[in-house]
Amino acid sequence: MSRESGRLTVLHISDVHATADGRLYDRVDGVERLRAVGDYARDAGVTPEAIVVTGDLIQRGNPDAYPRLEAALDDLERAAGVPVLTVLGNHDDARAARGMRRHAGGHHRIEHIAGMRFALLDSSTGALGAEQTDWLREQLREPYGAGTVVALHHPPLGSPLPTLAKAGLADAGALLDVLAGSDALAVLAGHFHHPLSATLRGVPVSVGPALAYHQVMNAGPDVVAGHDQAMFSLVHLLPGGVAATSISLDSPAPLFTQPVTA
């Protein structure tokens, strides 16, 4: 695993938007794109400690997509050889998602992987709520191992796009109150369909791009639009900081290829 290189790696996917018939906007097959991420990791030699998928696993109104989605997540887990952790987004169906193996006991939970604690939160309503926030506070009361990675769908801040400026987590302040002074290494989120990084109360926040489509960043102040561009992130947890790299599944022909010399 990447621990041997001195950095912990999380492969961060978000906003799959899988559909029952396989096609979003008649073009996007989120399930096949999940499998393409597995191919990328193999071809690039990426060896993450874990894979985290931060919500909108399905497109709203497609609860029948969960079995096909979970089969692809299982394939990705086998291909990468590490656990795939998922949280729900506002498009997800909380009842139907209970059929997923890792969600049978609830949608917010703790997973311990590679000496890290993953706090997986449910912001499918747009907020966490007091009960979940209190639960998280209790979980983080004592530090754990190399630290805690917090994953949820809605970022605890707004997008720079005017149309998404108020689309972040409704109770972001409550979450940040819990995380301040804890062993939180990073917050991983999605929802905006564009990458964004920030540091809030000393905690790095990495908003991943979307696997389904990317926001048109200059669409205008009153509309949202999407490019057919599939992206995900590699998040490296470094001593004293976090680095996030956005990766596109679209691969233009290289200008050159040459061996690396010392």
- Domains in the chain: how many in total? 1
Q: How does pLDDT run across 112-125, given as a tens digit for each residue?
A: 999 999 999 999 99
Place of tokens 């983080």: 140
- Indicate the helix (H) or strand (E) that contains 41: helix 30-44
Flag whether the pTM goes above 0.85: yes
The CB-side HSE value for 261 (13 A sphere, CA atoms) comes to: 1
Q: Buried b / exposed e across 209-220, counting CB within 10 Å, b at 16+?
A: bbbbbbbbeeee
Residue 39 sits in which domain range? 2-248
Q: Which helix (H) or strand (E) holds 80?
A: helix 66-80
Cα distances (angstroms) measured from residue 14 to each of 25, 126, 188, 202, 225: 18, 16, 9, 24, 17
Can you tell me the distance from the alpha carbon of 189 to that of 166, in angstroms, rounded to the nearest whole number? Answer: 15
For residues 37 and 149, give the distance between their C-alpha atoms in angstroms, rounded to a whole number: 21
Place of tokens 């997973």: 111
pLDDT value, residue 250: 86
Indicate which CATH number applies to the domain containing 45. 3.60.21.10
In a domain, 257, yes or no: no
256: in domain = no
Dihedral angle computed from the Cα positions of residues 249, 253, 254 and 257, in that order, rounded to the nearest 10 degrees: 110
Say if 262 falls within a structural domain.
no
Query: Tokens in use for 214?
Result: 């990317």
- In the structure encoding, which two tokens stand for residue 205, read together? 């926040």
**Distance between CA atoms of residues 45 and 65, nearest Å:** 30
What was the pLDDT predicted at 21?
86
How far is 161 from 194, CA to CA, in rounded Å? 10
DSSP 141-152: SS--TT-EEEE-
Is 255 within a domain?
no
pLDDT confidence of residue 1: 58
pLDDT at 69 (0 to 100): 96
Residue 259: inside a domain: no
pLDDT value at residue 37: 94
Residues of the chain falling short of pLDDT 70: 1-6, 262
pLDDT on residue 93: 97
Give residues with Cβ within 8 angstroms of 260, minimum separation 6.
Answer: none
**What's the Rg (C-alpha) of the chain?**
18
Quick one: pLDDT at residue 252?
Answer: 78
In a domain, 16, yes or no: yes
Residues 6+ apart with CB under 8 A from 6: 239
CB crowding 34-45: b at 16 or more within 10 Å, else e: bbbbbebbeeee
